[in-house]
Structures are given as C-alpha cells and as structure tokens.
C-alpha cells in the first residue's frame, strides 16, 4: 500500500487557538523506510497497526514499537523513525496543531521525552474510517473533523492518562519542582548569558546535583537542554525570514554570530543561512 494522505482544506492560515486537524493518512512502509532526523511544525501521532519499527527523539533513547503502540512527534523537536527491515510497520497518523494541543497532551502520559504510549488497537483504524467519511461532506466537514479529533483525545486521555502520584512520587515531585523552576528560568532567560552555576544558585542546589536531577527529569543536562532550546527558538526566528543571522544569534543568547553559526550547524545539521533559505 502506498502512503495515503488526506489534507484538511479548512486548515486556518494563522495558528489556531483551538485544536485543529491538519492531515491524516496511512501507509504500509517499505523495509527501513524512515523519516528524519527532522522536525515537524505540527504535532503528529503515529499508530502502529502491524509490524514494528524504531523511534528516537533528539539524542534520546531509541525505542522499538510494535502493534498497539503509538508515538507522537512534537513540533520543532528533532525526531527519527524507521520501519523494521524484516517486519516493516503499517501505521496511520494524524497531524494537528492549535494552542490547545499542548494542554490536552499534558493530560496524557505522552511527553516530548517519552513519546511512546499504548493505544487500543480498534481506536485508530476506526478514527481513520470516520475521518475519511467526514471528509466527504463539505458542509459539515470542519465541524465533524474537529469533533472526531476531540473524541479521539478524550479516549487517549482515558487510555494513557498522566500517572497518579504514588508515595514514591512525593520525592520525585520535590525534584520536579526544582527542575520546573529551572525550566521556567531557562525559557524566560535563554536570550541571556546563563551558566549552570547561576541556575543552581537560583534554585539553591549544588550545581552537580542539579545537573543530575535535571538530566533525570528531561533526559538532557542543563547546558545541552539550553542549547537545544536556543536552537529551536533560533529556528523559529529564521523561519520568519525577517532577521539577519547576527540578530537571531543575539536574540537567543549568543553575542558572537560566528559561534552561533557553528553551534546551529552542529545542532540542526545545516548552517543558519541554509536553513532560512531552504524555507
């Protein structure tokens, strides 16, 4: 089966505040068929119907998926996935966007670092059929597609909810509080010079201990996370096509555009100018 794509023609030009289905599809992949490492500009959930394959988010662990499992590619996160050589997967996908998407996903077990979650084997095939049916009636298409998407998420939250905190989770929560404070700080000060030492001083922890719990929670050491975050922001600025490389560099915390160029290429794989021009 070749890949079957369905695009939602009602997709808004500007970012939608509401949840919005962008496209969906299905494919029986060829052996070793792969995507990436690359980034998407929308959320994309893949559900494995049969066969198997692997998925890796940024420099994280490589995870194997089989039938009945799903994974989500988050926007602006580098993801790589590949069908198995012997038993290539058959999967279907839905891609969506909207400000609500993040809030809804936060109610599920899926996170950018742990993008794999179980899913009822009947849910996705059924959704795929219903989406195709809904597509045919142009008078109700936009409402029906949206309704189906909300319904899908209600089941997903039900089947893969955020784990309820147990006794052991209390200590984890205390650690998480430190990590969340760090993340808040990094997300609001990434345009400034930040050292791990400063970060540790802000939350009142030893630098090395902070590095350890930060990596435990996010999968990355603080320095690496900050670098990744800066480059994601830089990608966003470059996409607008309105800024010089030097302006983008200074905007994300690099006073030296030369150094920024180097780090950008190292992280994203292409120089900033090439990234901008490709868009």
Please provide residue 17's backbone torsions phi and psi, each rounded to the nearest 5 degrees.
-70, -25
In this complex, which beta carbon is closest to DNA, that of residue 126 or of residue 175?
Answer: 175
Q: What's the min distance (Å) between Cβ of 76 and DNA? A: 19
Rounded Cα–Cα distance for residues 228 and 8 (Å): 31
d(CA 118, CA 129): 20
The nearer residue to DNA, 72 or 268, going by C-beta atoms, is 268
- Least Å distance, CB 194 to DNA, is 8
CB of 59 to DNA, least distance (A): 11
Asked if residues 182 and 207 have their Cβ atoms less than 8 Å apart, the reply is no
Residue 106 or 244: the one with the smaller Cβ distance to DNA is 244
Select 75 or 221, whichever has its Cβ closest to DNA: 221
Other CB atoms within a 10 A radius of the CB of residue 198 amount to 13
User: Which run of H or of E encompasses 38?
Assistant: strand 34-38
- Asked if residues 26 and 10 have their Cβ atoms less than 8 Å apart, the reply is no
Which residues of this protein are in contact with DNA, per CB under 7 A?
193, 195-197, 205-209, 211-212, 215, 221-224, 227, 244-246, 254-259, 261-265, 271-274
The nearer residue to DNA, 123 or 257, going by C-beta atoms, is 257
User: Rounded to the nearest whole angstrom, what is the least distance from the CB of residue 199 to DNA in the complex?
Assistant: 8
Give yes or no for a contact between 4 and 49, defined as CB atoms under 8 angstroms apart. no
Minimum distance from CB of 102 to DNA (Å)?
A: 26
């Amino acid at each position: 089966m070749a890949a079957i794509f369905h695009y939602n023609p009602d997709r808004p030009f500007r970012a939608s505040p509401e949840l919005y289905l962008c496209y969906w599809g299905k494919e029986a992949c060829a052996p070793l068929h792969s995507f990436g490492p690359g980034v998407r500009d929308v959320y994309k959930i893949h559900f494995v119907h049969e066969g198997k394959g692997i998925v890796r988010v940024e420099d994280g662990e490589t995870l194997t998926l089989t039938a009945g499992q799903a994974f989500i590619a988050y926007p602006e996160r580098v993801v790589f996935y590949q069908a198995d050589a012997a038993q290539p997967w058959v999967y279907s996908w839905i891609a969506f966007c909207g400000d609500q998407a993040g809030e809804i996903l936060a109610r599920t077990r899926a996170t950018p670092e742990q993008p794999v979650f179980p899913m009822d084997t009947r849910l996705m095939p059924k959704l795929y059929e219903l989406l195709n049916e809904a597509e045919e009636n142009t008078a109700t298409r936009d409402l029906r597609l949206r309704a189906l998407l909300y319904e899908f998420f209600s089941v997903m939250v039900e089947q893969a909810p955020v784990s309820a905190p147990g006794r052991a989770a209390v200590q984890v929560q205390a650690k998480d509080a430190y990590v969340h404070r760090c993340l808040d700080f990094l997300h609001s000060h990434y345009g400034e010079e930040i050292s791990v030492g400063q970060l540790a001083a802000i939350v009142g922890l030893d630098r090395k201990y902070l590095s350890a719990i930060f990596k435990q929670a996010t999968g990355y050491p603080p320095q690496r996370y900050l670098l990744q975050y800066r480059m994601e922001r830089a990608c966003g600025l470059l996409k607008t096509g309105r800024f010089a490389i030097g302006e983008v560099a200074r905007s994300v915390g690099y006073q030296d555009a030369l150094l920024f160029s180097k780090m950008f290429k190292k992280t994203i794989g292409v120089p900033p100018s090439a990234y901008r021009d490709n868009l």
